[in-house]
Structures are given as structure tokens and as C-alpha cells.
Amino acid sequence: MAGKQVLLLGLGEQGRAALWDLSRDPSIETLRICDPSPETAEVASRYGGGKETILPLSAEDPEGLLREMERADGVLETLPGRFALPVARLAARAGVPTVSTMYLADPGERDPQRRLAQQEELIALDEEARRSGAILLPECGMDPGLDLVLCKEALRGFETVESLVSYGAGFPEAAAADNPLGYRFTWSIPGVMRSYLRPALVIRGGKACPIPAEAVFAPENTHLLHIPEMEGPLECFPNGDVRPFLERFALEGVREFGRYVCRWPGHCAFWSVLARCGFLDDSPVRTPSGPVVPQEFCAAVLGRRGEFRYGAGQRDVALVRVEVQGRIAGQPRRRVLQLVDRRDLASGFTAMQRTVGFTAALGLRFLLKGTLPPGLHHPEELPFEPFAQALRNRGMEIARSETPAGV
């Protein structure tokens, strides 16, 4: 595996953490970075360990990207979500192992026909990757990513599953939740705005319960999570449609299933009002100054205020938690797997950078070792124990508990 050439697409917040992690791998000889930003060279020299080479190539240049991908032993993509599927297509053409932190199918797509078309395209992408020898691993970040890895392990050994609840969240420590939002951004603010207007579906009482995008923050769809690792209760709201995961995790007959995001109390009430008033809509509205996209307007207003970013001494928290109830050897059992990480003030990396960027870098290492065969894969297919040990080596511990159900 020595002397590997890795191509890194994008050097944003998560890309920097991935670069730092990969630069410390002795088997990787060169890290070629595609990012046309003027600050790329300075940032890369800070995190690249001398292995970095800058390519001022834009993600809008598919032929240029394809040429660089064909030269690489592996690709790690940390671009905005709209590039994930186009890059995966290029990777399948190039026959190169590629990791992305994003979904390939838009989880916010509301049109049933478009959702079906997306799934058909992923089937075709898998077939092309198998033919070309490409190993494709999307969804390899924190959420999606770590949550799926923990889900697979949490379900191991259960004969029947009655309930599966997972949480993936990044938010400020209580001491840093001191602004009007009670929240600070560690990633793309437009990305947060898009995720806040995403329809969801949960399983309640064995029935599929669709939740319109503008209702995900409504009281009837939220709940509080009380865990001792936090300074108080967390407010939880639905995170997308669970149906794609029913088949992936073979959850036949599950009575309760939901994926949730966590914030400090009060977050849902605020964003529920904005969502219902149209401030998160992605269709332009006419104004005297010209057309304005409400979602982009909100992102721009919040993005210009420093109080919604982290200061040097402020820490964020990343929480990934999975709770399973069912039967093992005929006995009712409850199993919980959980990872809590906080910003490393020594390196400056936020918990979100660590849990997303380091996870993506680990995913690429597994692909470079040939851990998975060619084709389109999911993070939960990675071997759990080596993955957990690698996280442990980076200061991220997965805690586990198991009790009789109901205790």
C-alpha cells in the first residue's frame, strides 16, 4: 500500500481535517488538492505535512477532474452536496476508489418520480463501478456515516427488533450556546438551511408516518433526550426518511424507527416559525430589489454575524447515539452505542471536523487496502472493530451498554 497518490476534492472545514489525518499516513506519498480558492495553498501548507500539491481546478470542470482522478490511487471528496453524484459518476468512469461525505441521492427530494429516478441511477452507478473496478463509498462522515456504522453494530445479534432510534447532532457546549440562536455553525450555513426544510418519515406503532418538511419542528414530531453526558436535555427533531434503511438493516416488523437531530431546547420552536412562514423555501420570491431565495437570504444574514461562529476558546459537541430494543436469544434486550466528541482546542479542529473529516479519511484508508470489492457501498459495510480502534486512536471512543429491555 506504500507510495499512494491521493486526490482530495475540496479544502473546506471537513477537507482540512481529512488532509491533516491523511498527511500522517506513511503509506500516502502525495496529496493532490483540487480547490481554486485563493487561500488553498496557505491552508494546505498548514495541514498537509509537506505532502500537498495544489491543483487550481474547479469542481465545475468534469473533464479536468476525470484526468486527475485517473492518475490517483484514491479520491476523497468533501465538496458541497450537489457535486457528490457527478463526482461519483466520474469515479466510476475512472475506476478509482472514492469516498464522499454526502448522500448521492437527494434526501430532500419530494417528488416520487424523481426519487425513483435517483434510485435507478444509483443501481446503474453500482453496475458501472463493478465493471470499472471502482469502489464507491458515499455517506462516510458523521451523519450520515458514523451513525450507520453504529447502527449495524448495535443491531448485531438481535433476532427481532422492535425499536431503533438513532441520533446524529452537532451543537455548541452549553457555555457556547450564548447567542440568540443557542447554536453556532461548524459547516455550510446554506447546507444547514437546506437540511432544515427536508421532509421526514418515521415508523410509529408499526406504521409509516410521513412528516411534511414544514412540520419537522412541530411539537408532535419532537421529543427530549436526557443523557448524563450532556449539561441538560436535548431537543430532537426528525432527520429524513427512514425507509431506505429498512431494507439495508433488514428491519422487518419494526414497531418504532426514527433518525433524529439534537439541539438545545428552544431551537425547534424558533425554526418551526421560520419554516411555516416560508423563510426556508428554496423558490425565489419577487422583491423591489429583484428575486430573492428565502433560504439563501437566511443563510446570508446569519453568515455575516460572527456570534454564530465559534471563537478560539469555544467548543462544539458531536453526538452519535443508537438505541435498539428487541430480543436476543429470546430475551428482551436494550442496547445503546454512543460516541461523544468535543472540539480539540489544541489543534483547533471542531468535533464536527473530527467526526466528519477523520471518518472520511479512515474510509479511504479501508478502500486503499481493498477492504471492499468494486461497486457502490455504505459505511456500515466497513469492519467494525478495526474502525472503532482507529477512532479510538484519534481520541473518539464508542461507549456501549446493554440491559434487559425496559430497565
Confidence label for 108 from pLDDT (cuts 50, 70 and 90): low
Angle at Cα 25 formed by Cα 342 and Cα 344, nearest 5°? 15
pLDDT at 110 over 80: no
Half-sphere exposure of 329 (CA within 13 A, CB side): 1
pLDDT at 407 over 60: no
| Amino acid making up residue 235 | E
User: Quick one: pLDDT at residue 115?
Assistant: 83
How confident is the model over 204-216, as a mean pLDDT? 95
User: Quick one: pLDDT at residue 107?
Assistant: 73
pLDDT at 150 over 60: yes
User: Quick one: pLDDT at residue 20?
Assistant: 97
User: Quick one: pLDDT at residue 1?
Assistant: 58
Half-sphere exposure of 129 (CA within 13 A, CB side): 25
What Å distances lie between residue 385 and 26, 189, 374, 380, 392, CA to CA? 22, 34, 22, 12, 10
User: Quick one: pLDDT at residue 376?
Assistant: 97
Q: Contact 203/258 with Cβ under 8 angstroms?
A: yes
User: For the packed helices 84-94 and 112-132, what is the interaxial angle rounded to 10 degrees?
Assistant: 30
Could you tell me which residues come within 8 angstroms of residue 127 by beta carbon, excluding any fewer than 6 positions away? none
Confidence label for 31 from pLDDT (cuts 50, 70 and 90): very high
Confidence label for 92 from pLDDT (cuts 50, 70 and 90): very high
Q: Report the Cα–Cα distance between both ends of the chain, in Å, rounded.
A: 47
Partners of 210 in the β-ladder? 201
Confidence label for 111 from pLDDT (cuts 50, 70 and 90): confident
Cell numbers at residue 196, please? 432544515
Confidence label for 56 from pLDDT (cuts 50, 70 and 90): confident
